[in-house]
């Protein structure tokens, strides 16, 4: 048994608990959007000139899966496909006003939840946690 075994076990259990709790609270976390719908809207709202192919690549999904999800978001009036300025056969994705409002509302709700959970933490602890969590998730890619 090494010095890392116990911390790794704690991290493993924390990830399981976090994942389970996130799944249980999913409908409350994303304003009745699915997690997939929320991540797609978030991506479209965060990156310049996003396309369905970009989404498929970023999240490791089949293009047909992405297309079906995007069609639902279009039907719900949350996003639209528009002509790409330099690639005639490519459609860019953009949020509608409703989509931007929905995304802002969900982010505000999530931020409030984080502020409540981390409210008793020092600014330094929040900064360290944010930096280490970002490092952890970006090194998974």
pLDDT of residue 7: 86
Q: Give pLDDT tens digits along the chain (141 positions).
A: 676 678 889 888 988 888 887 766 665 666 678 888 888 999 999 998 899 999 999 888 899 999 999 999 999 999 999 988 888 888 999 999 999 999 999 899 889 988 999 999 999 999 999 999 999 988 876
CA distances from 58 to 17, 39, 50, 80, 94 (A): 25, 11, 11, 19, 17
Residue 33, token pair as written in the block:
């959007």
Domain boundaries, the chain: 25-113
Annotate 101-139 with b (16+ C-beta within 10 A) or e (fewer): ebbeebeeeeeeeeeeeeeeeeeeeeeeeeeeeeeeeee
What angle, 0 to 180 degrees and rounded to 10, lies between the N-to-C axes of helices 52-59 and 63-75?
120
pLDDT of residue 125: 96
CA distances from 89 to 20, 73, 86, 92, 124 (A): 41, 21, 9, 10, 49
Q: CATH assignment of 25-113?
A: 1.10.10.10
pLDDT of residue 37: 87
């Amino acid at each position: 048994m090494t010095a890392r075994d116990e911390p790794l076990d704690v991290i493993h259990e924390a990830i399981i608990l976090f994942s389970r709790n996130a799944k249980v609270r999913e409908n409350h976390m994303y304003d009745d959007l699915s997690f997939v719908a929320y991540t797609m809207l978030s991506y479209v709202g965060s990156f310049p000139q996003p396309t369905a192919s970009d989404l498929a690549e970023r999240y490791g999904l089949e293009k047909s899966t992405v297309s079906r999800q995007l069609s639902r978001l279009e039907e719900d009036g949350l996003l639209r496909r528009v002509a790409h300025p330099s690639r005639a056969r490519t459609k860019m994705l953009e949020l509608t006003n409703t989509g931007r409002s929905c995304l802002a509302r969900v982010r505000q709700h999530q931020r409030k939840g984080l502020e409540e959970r981390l409210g008793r933490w020092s600014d330094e602890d929040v900064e360290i946690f944010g930096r280490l969590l970002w490092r952890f998730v970006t090194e998974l890619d």
